[in-house]
Each structure stands twice: as structure tokens, then as C-alpha cells.
């Protein structure tokens, strides 16, 4: 029997917390593993815990995990929280999860002072990050190839799957008709919302029955304000027209409700500039929704051309507080052409829906992901 203590967030709609909880639910199925958990303070004091994200039985399971004891020795210690805590106890395997959206690590992402050269020599320390793009940031920071592992995120096949009933229910409740594009994100600059709105305005010139479904994270970020700022950046002649075709939700939804939000769409569009992983395209594909996403970034790891259209993008380098940050700038004209293809090519949509579901089920269930996690932990 191996023992594992996880230090992380629970019952929060942040991606770190969601990932942690899905992994915990999967790890607890393993008969040769004993799990303990320590709740770590949230990154921002105004963030609050929320119940109801997971199904009742799953939340009871999560709450039943014994509390880990600080300083106690376990076979492995896994941390999934920010800022990153790189403290290592000699003789105990310590695995720290982290992401870097722009292949650059800011000092405020670390909870304590550290020496990268010293840490890179410690066999007890491993880092996991969900994409090759994100891994590059840790390598540039000074960690070694052997130390930084790519472990993708996953999805729950019991929650995220095609459902015509769920689709019909969601479209009724959201009052959606016509062709629906969707994007679920924090609405920050790196998500490319401004590009999506501009492209959507052009698509609507020839396809007036299109709609844009947006889901923000008002509990964590000023998502609605950033949406309003992006709308204000549109030409005055199209601003009101586009706004009338946008449906926005910023409240916290359960995983089951999120699955129905995906199902309400006809295509999921993510013209991101920088992402550590980008879970929504994975979950959308698992629900049978064709995907349009940026080429060259983190989603290249798990999106295949058989079911995803990739937006041409150019690399951009920016300097921020003495650190070089890397972005991608999606091509607006190419984004428009791909959105038009999604609207007009029903045969492609049907094929993409079928192949996307099969691909995700073959490679990215949380049970498959945690099998790989255990190989890193022990």
C-alpha cells in the first residue's frame, strides 16, 4: 500500500482545483493507494469555496478523504496550488504541478525563495505540467529535462459525452436558435476574445442566424467587464448588432451543467494567444462538439486535424519586467474562414464530432491520466 498526500485546492471553480478533484476521484479507485489531502489557502483572499461543482456522491467522496499531516512522511507528496511550493523533504518524492502560459515564470508564482541550480540536482523533486508548450517555460527557467514531466489533463466520460437530450434542454433554457459558436474562458487577453468577437461579426454579415455563447468566471476574475471592453473595441457600426447575438453567463456551474453548455454549441472556438493547456476544447470534443483552435500552442498536444480546425498563428515575443514572454497571434482572416467552414460544412461537423469523441475516449480519460501520474509519483 502506497501513501500519497495531496496539497491543493478543493471546491473552487479554478482549473487547478478542478483538475485536483478529478484526479482525486480517480486515484481513490486504486486499491493499492492510500490518499490524504491538505487544503491550501486560495491564491487570492476574495476567492470562496463553492459546493455543487461535482455530483453529490463525488463531493461526499472528496470530503471523506483523511486530512494529511504537515511534516508527516508519505511515499509521495503532490502539490497542485499557486504560488508553487518547491520545498522538498529529503528522502520523500515531491511532485509539484504548475503551468506557464507564456513560457515564462514570474517570481510571484513561487511561495518561497529557491535556487534553481540546487533544485535541479534533487532527485526527490519532480515537476509536472500539462503540455509541451508549458514544459518549455520550466526548462527555460533552469529545471532539467529529466525533472519536468508532461502530464495532460483529462475528462470524465460519465459527464462529458454526446447527448441529444442534453443539447435540446440546454438550447431551450438558454433560448438559443440557429448556429451556435461557444467559448468558455476567463475572458483575459490571452484567451483571444477580442479576435473571436471580430471574426464573429464578419461571419454574421453572411450568416445572420449565428449566435455566440460565452461562459466567464466572474467568481474568480472580472470576466464580464473584460467582455464589455472587448465589445467596446468593435467598430461602432457592428457593436450593437454583435452584442445582441451574444449570450453570456458568468456564474459558477456544475460539471453536468457545463457539459450541457458544450452540447448547446455547434462549434467550439478558441483563438487563444497563450495557454498552459486549455481544457475546454478537450471537454468540447468529448461532448461531440467540433473544435476550432489556435495552431502551434498547447492544444497541439491533444487536438488532431481529423476533428479540429487549427487557426494559423504567428509567434510574438514580449518583454515584461525583464522576462521574455512568448505568445501566438492568430490570423483573423484564417479564423473567419474556419468559422465559415464550420457553419457551411455539415459533413465535416458530423465527422469531427464522431472522431473527436473517439480520440478523447482513447487517450484522455482521468483514469488514463492518473495511471500516468502514478508512474511519476512512485
Domains and CATH numbers, the chain: 2-155+366-377 (3.40.50), 164-363 (3.40.50.2000)
C-beta of residue 361 within 8 angstroms of C-beta of residue 222: no
Predicted local confidence at residue 7, as pLDDT: 97
Predicted local confidence at residue 89, as pLDDT: 86
Predicted local confidence at residue 260, as pLDDT: 98
> pLDDT tens track of the chain, all 378 residues?
999 999 999 999 999 999 999 999 999 999 999 999 999 999 999 999 999 999 999 999 999 999 999 889 999 999 999 999 999 988 899 999 999 999 999 888 898 888 999 998 999 999 999 999 999 999 999 999 999 999 999 999 999 999 999 999 999 999 999 999 999 999 999 999 999 999 999 999 999 999 999 999 999 999 999 999 999 999 998 999 999 999 999 999 999 999 999 999 999 999 999 999 999 999 999 999 999 999 999 999 999 999 999 999 999 999 988 889 999 999 999 999 999 999 999 999 999 999 999 999 999 999 999 999 999 999
| Residue 350 grid coordinates | 458530423
**pLDDT tens digits along 110-156:** 988 889 999 989 999 999 999 999 999 999 999 999 999 999 999 99
Predicted local confidence at residue 29, as pLDDT: 97
C-beta of residue 93 within 8 angstroms of C-beta of residue 126: yes
User: How far is CA 181 from its chain centroid?
Assistant: 18
pTM: 0.96
**Which residue bears the cell 529545471?**
143
Predicted local confidence at residue 70, as pLDDT: 87
Q: What is the gyration radius of the CA atoms in the chain, in angstroms? A: 21
What does residue 224 show for φ and ψ, rounded to 5 degrees? -65, -40
- CA neighbor of 96 nearest in space, from 136, 137, 129: 129
Q: Dihedral of CA 323/80/15/23: which sign?
A: positive
**pLDDT tens digits along 97-108:** 999 999 999 888
Cα 27 to Cα 24, 37, 55, 222, 367: the distances in Å are 5, 12, 17, 34, 8
- CA neighbor of 265 nearest in space, from 331, 330, 193, 178: 178
Amino acid at each position: 500500500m502506497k501513501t500519497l498526500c495531496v496539497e491543493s485546492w478543493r471546491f473552487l471553480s479554478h482549473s487547478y482545483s478542478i483538475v485536483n478533484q478529478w484526479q482525486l476521484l480517480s486515484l481513490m479507485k486504486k486499491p493499492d493507494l492510500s490518499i490524504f489531502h491538505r487544503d491550501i489557502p486560495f491564491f487570492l483572499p476574495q476567492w470562496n469555496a463553492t459546493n455543487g461543482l461535482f455530483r453529490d456522491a463525488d463531493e461526499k467522496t472528496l470530503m471523506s478523504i483523511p486530512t494529511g499531516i504537515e511534516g508527516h512522511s508519505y511515499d509521495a507528496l503532490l502539490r497542485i496550488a499557486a504560488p508553487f511550493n518547491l520545498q522538498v523533504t529529503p528522502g520523500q518524492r515531491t511532485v509539484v504541478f504548475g503551468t506557464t502560459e507564456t513560457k515564462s515564470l514570474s517570481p510571484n508564482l513561487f511561495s518561497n525563495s529557491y535556487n534553481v541550480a540546487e533544485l535541479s540536482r534533487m532527485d526527490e523533486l519532480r515537476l509536472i505540467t500539462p503540455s509541451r508548450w508549458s514544459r518549455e517555460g520550466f526548462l527555460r527557467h533552469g529545471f532539467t529535462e529529466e525533472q519536468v514531466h508532461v502530464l495532460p489533463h483529462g475528462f470524465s466520460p460519465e459527464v462529458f459525452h454526446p447527448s441529444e437530450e442534453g443539447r435540446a434542454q440546454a438550447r431551450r433554457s438558454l433560448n438559443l436558435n440557429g448556429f451556435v459558436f461557444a467559448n468558455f474562458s476567463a475572458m483575459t487577453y490571452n484567451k483571444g476574445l477580442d479576435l473571436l468577437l471580430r471574426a464573429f461579426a464578419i461571419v454574421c454579415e453572411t450568416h445572420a442566424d449565428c449566435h455566440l455563447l460565452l461562459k466567464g468566471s466572474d467568481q474568480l476574475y472580472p470576466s464580464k467587464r473584460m467582455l464589455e471592453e472587448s465589445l467596446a473595441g468593435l467598430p461602432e457600426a457592428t457593436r450593437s448588432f454583435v452584442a445582441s447575438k451574444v449570450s453570456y453567463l458568468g456564474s459558477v456551474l456544475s460539471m453536468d451543467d457545463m457539459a450541457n453548455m458544450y452540447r448547446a454549441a455547434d462549434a467550439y472556438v478558441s483563438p487563444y494567444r497563450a495557454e498552459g493547456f486549455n481544457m475546454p476544447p478537450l471537454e468540447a470534443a468529448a461532448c461531440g462538439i467540433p473544435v476550432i483552435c489556435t495552431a502551434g500552442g498547447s492544444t497541439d498536444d491533444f487536438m488532431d486535424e481529423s476533428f479540429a480546425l487549427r487557426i494559423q498563428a504567428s509567434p510574438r515575443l514580449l518583454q515584461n519586467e525583464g522576462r521574455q514572454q512568448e505568445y501566438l497571434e492568430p490570423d483573423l482572416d484564417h479564423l473567419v474562414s474556419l468559422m465559415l467552414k464550420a457553419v457551411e460544412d455539415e459533413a465535416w461537423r458530423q465527422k469531427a464530432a464522431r472522431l473527436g469523441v473517439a480520440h478523447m475516449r482513447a487517450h484522455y480519460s482521468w483514469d488514463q491520466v492518473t495511471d500516468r501520474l502514478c508512474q511519476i509519483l512512485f
